[in-house]
Amino acid sequence: MFTSNLKECHNRTIELKDVSATVFQLLVDYIYHGTIKLRVEELQDTYEMADMYQLTALFEECSRFLSRTVEVKNCLQVMWLADRHSDQELYTAAKHCAKIHLAQLHQTEEFLNLPLCLLLDIIKDGVPTSQNPTVAIESWINHNKVEREEFSSILQENLKEIGENVHIYLIGKEETRTHSLAVSLHCDEDDAISVSGQNSLCHQITAACKHGGDLYVVGGSIPRRMWKCNMHTMDWERCAPLPRDRLHHTMVSVSSEDAIYSLGGKTLQDTLSNAVIYYTVKDNMWTETSQLDTAVSGAAGVNLGGTIYLLGGEENDMDFFTKPSRLIQCFDTASQKCQIKPYMLPFAGCMHAAVHMDVIFIVAEGDSLVCYNPLLESFTRLRFPEVWSCVPSLWKVASCNGCIYVFRDKCKKGDANTLKFNPATSVVSVIRGIKILLTNWQFVLA
């Protein structure tokens, strides 16, 4: 600017636009002293100015800093920024964060206003199936349907979904121990299941759920306490406790909100609860919201497209004694409102459920596997192999890798305790050879 024949070299006062005084002072200090104290709140501006004024070393350091701090809430903004400055390494880091958290991003303003070229780059790079990339594409198109509908075919053609090395977490007890254990099962596409990790939990686990790759459990000597376990590193971290003690409540992960909901349960005085609270992971905070229509305890709960389906459990009868419930309660996490379906479940009481695409698979003690389609309001019973149908058992179900896994814990040593059902082909596989020492399986989470 000052060495060339530009007008700035003749002026005594120069106005610098698009840069704050604070950031420019940082640049001047860096030029004269060779050091700079990078602050997160000024990092992106410093990055842009370093590139503009050709401070290469500072630009590269800002890029590395941004790569280390990229997260869900800023990944799309950083991706956009890196693309504008042709920073391939930072762009790749931000894109990777975006594609593995697409379910949390697809309703944000940043995603809905994303340029077509950036969206194409995300989806063609391989998006995990669990992130529902098709839903994300539909959200982006519907945000400006008049102008974007023509891009639907090119987006679908470029979409690449990838399977994941999904883990199913089992929580139960060994016969000789009082505290619970969490076992991580690795599910391969070739019908093999292997134990890939184990961790000790406290005793009296009252509720649990899987959120992202982490396991959240509530219970112990103080029933309101909650812990987060990273099943890869086996590190434990205490989270904010629930506002009050509750037993047998239902915990459900809602990944699009990065939140965990707790619904129903019992008080320590054995009274059924209709409370609904949710835990915001990034804020480590519980918030109370509107209540369930009917107080229930021990219900099965799943999240389907932002609506939590609460199935069965226990409810009060006319005399306020508890009875097995056949209710289906739907809690909309967007409007924070609950409604009861006008029809009942085909069975009552204790059950377990898992979501696959737009349907819910449910199992109950001594009953068959049932496919519930909320859109069609229909129930379809599925027959198990003969060896499983003849003995009532407490079964649990999990959905991963595009298949439904059904487990039973009450089986003789050496017997197969796992079925794999592929809804696309209707093929049922009996999985043998899996050695799990746990009894009294409390939770199966995927």
Give the amino acid at 298: G
Ranges of beta strands (E only) in 71-139 are: 127-128
Instruction: Look at residue 163 and tell me if it is in a domain.
Output: no
257 alpha-carbon distance from chain centroid: 9
State both tokens at 20: 């704050």
Instruction: Look at residue 214 and tell me if it is in a domain.
Output: yes
Q: Any residues with CB less than 8 A from the CB of 120 and at least 6 apart, and which?
A: 154, 155, 158
Q: How far is CA 437 from CA 44, 117, 209, 410, 440, in A?
A: 52, 51, 21, 12, 10
CA–CA separation, 11 vs 87, rounded Å?
Answer: 34
Q: What is the CATH number of the domain that holds 408?
A: 2.120.10.80
Do 106 and 256 touch, CB atoms closer than 8 A?
A: yes
Instruction: Look at residue 103 and tell me if it is in a domain.
Output: no
pLDDT value at position 366?
64
Q: How far is CA 78 from CA 52, 149, 445, in A?
A: 17, 27, 33
Instruction: Look at residue 112 and tell me if it is in a domain.
Output: no
Q: pLDDT tens per residue, the chain (446 residues)? A: 545 556 655 556 666 666 666 666 777 677 666 676 666 667 777 777 777 767 777 778 778 878 877 888 888 988 988 888 888 888 888 888 888 788 889 889 999 999 999 999 998 877 877 788 889 999 999 999 899 999 988 898 888 776 655 567 666 666 656 556 666 666 665 556 655 556 566 567 888 888 877 889 888 777 888 888 776 666 678 899 999 888 889 999 998 888 999 999 998 888 999 999 999 988 899 999 999 999 999 999 999 988 999 999 999 887 778 899 999 999 999 899 999 999 999 988 888 899 988 899 998 866 678 899 999 999 988 776 665 554 545 578 888 777 888 877 655 544 546 777 777 766 777 766 555 555 566 666 66
Range of the domain at 240: 169-445
Instruction: Look at residue 108 and tell me if it is in a domain.
Output: no
pLDDT value at position 260?
94
Instruction: Look at residue 66 and tell me if it is in a domain.
Output: no
pLDDT value at position 392?
47
Number of domains the chain is built from: 1
Instruction: Look at residue 375 and tell me if it is in a domain.
Output: yes
Instruction: Look at residue 425 and tell me if it is in a domain.
Output: yes
pLDDT value at position 90?
85
